[in-house]
Every structure is written in C-alpha cells, then in structure tokens.
Amino acid sequence: MILFGEGVTTSPDHAAAPRRASDMTETSPRIALMLGDCTGIGPELSARVLHGRILGDSARLVVVGDMRVLEQGMRDAKLTFPVKRVTSIGAIDWADEAVPVIDLQNIDPKTLPRAKVSAESGRLTGETLAYAIGLASRGEIDAITFAPLNKAALHAGGWRYPDEHKMFAHLLQHQGYFSEMNVLGNQWMARVTSHVSLREALDLITAHSIEDAIRLSDQTMRRAGIAAPRIAVAALNPHGGEGGLFGREEIDIIKPAIDHAVADGLSVDGPFGADTMFQMPGFDAFVVMLHDQGHVAAKLLAEHAAAALAIGTPILFSSVAHGSAHDIAGKGVADATAMIEAILRMAGARR
C-alpha cells in the first residue's frame, strides 16, 4: 500500500532545469495528471489529453498512476503516444517528447470489473490521489489535475469523504474555507454547498459561508485575469422567497452577506431566483446555494464542457464536472473537452 507522501525517493528539486525546453515551457506549471477511476472513462480521457501534446507549452504534465491503466486509456481512445517511466519529478526531462509517468504499479485494471462501482478500485484510486497530493505538498509539482473519480467507489474503498475536495483539504490539513468553481467559457460558477444532502445543505448555508464563497470567487477570478468580476448570487427558495412568503433565508442571510461584500468594494448583486438568474446578462460569475441549482444549468449550457477548479486550498486542483460515466466506459466516445479546458484554466490561474 502506498501511503500519503511515501514513494518519492529523490529530494524535491524546484530548480531542475529542462535541458532543451523553451523559455515558455520552463515557466509553465508542473501538473500531475491522475488517471481517474479505471472502471470508468478516466483513463480514456487522460489519453486524449496527453495525445499529441495538445496543451502545447501551457503546462508540463506528468502522469501519476499505473502504466497499465494509462495503456488501457490509450486502447479505449484508440490513440498511441510515447511514454517514459520516471522515478521522480526531478528526474524528468521536460523537453522529451515522451510523456513522463511515475508508475506506481498499484492498479492492475485487468483485475477490476469494467463499468462497475468497485471498492478495490476506489481504494487504489484514493491511494494514487494521496500520493499526488504528497508530491504537491512538498513542492515537487505545482498543481494536480484528475480524470473522473467515482465517489461511491472511493467511499466503499475507505476514503470516506463526501467529495474529493474534502478529501484533499483533509490530506493537506487545510482548515479554511474551500470549494469548487466551474468554468463554462467566460461564465464562472461557485457553490456555497455541494456534495451534501439537501437537509444538510440547509444548515450549511450561513451569511458566513455565502460571503466566503463570494470572496473566494472574486479572488480566483482576479488571479485568472478578470480585473473586476461581476458576481450574481442566487436565492435559496423558489422565486427568491417571494418577499418572505416561501422562506426567509434571502432576507435574513443572503442579502446581508451580499451587502457586506458590496461594502468592501466587490461587485455583487442578488439574491436572484435561480430559475431566472442564468439568463441575466452582465455577470462574470454566478454563486449558487445548492449543487443542483448550478449543475442543472451548467449541464444544459454545455454538457461536456464544464471545467472544475478547487478554490481556497493551498494547492490548485482541476477536474471536470461530470463523473466516471460507466455507461460509456470502454466505448471510445468520451469527450475530453472539459478536462482540457480545466487544465488550461488552472494553468492560467497559476501564472
């Protein structure tokens, strides 16, 4: 078993200079690519992302996972490209055409059922993620991107976190607020609550958590180059509570949080009924209260194109808004647009 932080034998080497790299490549972030749950479409998406170096000089990618899983992804995607095992990040020649792979040799996909939730796959996928987080927390890589995981498998495999972001925060011993932002083209979206039951979400929605989500969205977008992000905040209840008739959270909690952010100079407006908000022009970002408020809209607006970025954690993570898609696993039809977009956005925010 690979434990968090174990398995890297060389010392961190931030200054390891690539021999033949261009100036641009030298400054681009080093990103660990984790192949996702191998029972789903993760390995196939990863192969599509890595094939032909389509990210160009935007990022330096290193696969962290099992070579056999990557090879399965190539077969699924019907793509081949040169790969090269490396034993440490410091040993990577970033100018080499071959994709560097830190081969953990921990997951043999032949022993795991395809397109089924597998506790064993979840356990090993979690181990791989923890290993990548160890690399990042020691400064050997700058960020992590991961192909779709399977939450139920992770949970069954002993990684009992409601979602991967809570898992990362725990492994990073991060105590502050953190969340996820989705990006659809020029439209950003953040959620005050996410992977919790609706009953629990109602208890988590406070003026404090709303303000945290607004401020962190604003900061993240400024880092990504949007000078003065204009943020719309959703209501919780139907029709924004209809003036208190259908709930008072808008009056008692959401509006005060918005007013507080506005008083500090942020460009924030709302609360708006979630069903009318997404048609409103003039906003760069939407902050919603509940997972489905945002995701019903996001998936209709761009089914496969929602990139997902972790916000608030000290290490940047990117992923996609969709799951391991067992229904199309192994069929060679998975769409990597969102994962590519996510990596490019994260690389942009990192610069």
Binding site for a second copy (CB under 8 A): 117, 151-152, 155, 162, 194-200, 202, 236-239, 241-243, 245-249, 273-276, 278-279, 290-293, 295-301, 303, 323
| Cβ distance to a second copy smaller for residue 75 or 299 | 299
Q: How far is the CB of 269 from a second copy (least distance, A)?
A: 14
Q: What residues contact residue 93 under an 8 Å CB cut-off, 6+ apart? A: 18, 19, 20, 100
Q: Chain centroid to CA 115: how far?
A: 22
Q: How far is the CB of 177 from a second copy (least distance, A)?
A: 19
| Cβ distance to a second copy smaller for residue 134 or 148 | 148
Specify which residues 187 forms β-bridges with. Answer: 184
Q: How far is the CB of 1 from a second copy (least distance, A)?
A: 24
Rounded-to-integer distance, Cα 44 and Cα 62, Å: 16
DSSP code of residue 62:
E
DSSP code of residue 264:
T
User: Are the C-beta atoms of residues 140 and 12 closer than 8 Å to each other?
Assistant: yes
| Cβ distance to a second copy smaller for residue 251 or 344 | 251
| Cβ distance to a second copy smaller for residue 188 or 286 | 286
| Cβ distance to a second copy smaller for residue 69 or 297 | 297
Q: How far is the CB of 117 from a second copy (least distance, A)?
A: 8
Rounded-to-integer distance, Cα 55 and Cα 171, Å: 29
Residue 132: HSE in the Cβ half-sphere, 13 Å Cα cutoff: 34
Segments in 78-118 forming alpha helices (H) = none
- Phi and psi dihedrals of 268, rounded to 5? -135, 140
| Cβ distance to a second copy smaller for residue 25 or 209 | 209
Q: How far is the CB of 200 from a second copy (least distance, A)?
A: 8
Q: How far is the CB of 282 from a second copy (least distance, A)?
A: 14
Rounded-to-integer distance, Cα 29 and Cα 7, Å: 22
Residue carrying structure tokens 């011993």: 173
